[in-house]
Amino acid sequence: MKKIAIAISILAVFSMTAWSQMEGGRMGGPPVYSQPYSPEQDAYLNELIRISRGGQLYDNWWKVAMDADKPEKSHPLWMEQSTNQRSGYDTYRCKECHGWDYLGKDGAYGKGSHFTGFKGVYEAGQKMSIEELQSVLGKKAAAKKHDFSGHISTDDIADLALFIKKGLIDTSRFVTTEGIPVGGNERTGSYLFRRNCAHMCHGMAGAAINFGDAEKPEFVGTIASDNPWEFIHKVRAGQPGTRMPSAIINEWSEKELLDLLSFARTLPRDVSEIGSWSRFRGGMGHRGMMHGDYSPGSGRGFGPSME
């Protein structure tokens, strides 16, 4: 009997201690689990995620926004120009009018088939407040035709404004107007590529995902060589609608972007250049995430087209 009484009292003391510890955790005592982030760090990370999402919306909002309808007719502002012959949804993409370098007519889209004569957004990002940037895209837009609120949500517009305010970079600091990167280190870039891009997705040759089609394949090397500004934008924001990581969220430096771009320009741009690279095949992505019958340059990747 005595033994039972002792056992019960030990149990009682034990459970009371356990209870008080639990309460302590809940009532603001030392937390049971350590928290990885402070509220400030959490808010900071959340902002980076929103900036990168804004960048993806800028690229291709229809792939990012929830329940958005894809416009079929051309953008109402499209009539104000006649040099860019594209039509339909393409004319609704921010990048089509304002450029991958954010400089519009004063940048890479100042000539060629993408020329519209519309200005860029880089200056607006420097001069306008987030609220002003939001209103350019909303119902109160001075240019009524620039109102996107019928297509995307207020949250989307807020993320776009945040991207334009805090997410734009001046690529002219490290890419010439001809699109040549200046001062990049290919060796460091090759390391960055292997570590971040090759393994699961793009393969060692950057050819494991074809963004084009079988006839006209586009690989990492193609974009890096033909359109370094698009390359930088996509590396930073991530490819809309895919799991591609974002250099904005991962806080890459400009130097890292430059090194990666310099290396990526040495990768095959089309099937004929794959040559000795072919022994590397498609990296892990070849098995894990691609179509079973994929082979480099076959035009069968899992990625969406780069448009």
Report residue 81 CA to chain centroid gap: 29
231 binds ligand HEC (CB under 6 A): no
**Which of 252, 222, 115, 107 is closest to 172 using CA atoms?**
107
98 binds ligand HEC (CB under 6 A): yes
Q: Which of 50, 53, 75, 269 binds ligand HEC (CB under 6 A)?
A: 75
Give 68: exposed, middle or buried? Use CB within 10 Å, 0-12, 13-18, 19+: middle
Shortest separation between residue 120's beta carbon and ligand HEC, angstroms? 8
Residues 53-72 that bind ligand HEC (CB under 6 A): 58, 61
Nearer to ligand HEC, 137 or 204 (CB): 137
The alpha carbon dihedral of 223, 226, 231, 234 has a sign of negative
174 binds ligand HEC (CB under 6 A): no
Shortest separation between residue 211's beta carbon and ligand HEC, angstroms? 21
The alpha carbon dihedral of 224, 230, 233, 236 has a sign of negative
Nearer to ligand HEC, 61 or 174 (CB): 61
**Which of 220, 197, 8, 233 is closest to 98 using CA atoms?**
233
114 binds ligand HEC (CB under 6 A): no
Alpha-carbon distance 105 to 109, whole Å? 6
Contact assessment for residue 54 and residue 233, using Cβ atoms and an 8 Å cutoff: no
123 binds ligand HEC (CB under 6 A): yes
Contact assessment for residue 210 and residue 298, using Cβ atoms and an 8 Å cutoff: yes
> Which H or E run contains 47?
helix 39-64
Shortest separation between residue 224's beta carbon and ligand HEC, angstroms? 25
Interacting span for ligand HEC (CB under 6 A) from 7-15, 32-40, 129-137, 188-196: 129-137
Shortest separation between residue 146's beta carbon and ligand HEC, angstroms? 5
Nearer to ligand HEC, 123 or 186 (CB): 123
Q: Which residues bind to ligand HEC, rule: CB under 6 A?
A: 58, 61, 75, 77-78, 91-92, 94, 96-98, 118-119, 121, 123-124, 133, 136-137, 143, 146, 148, 160, 164
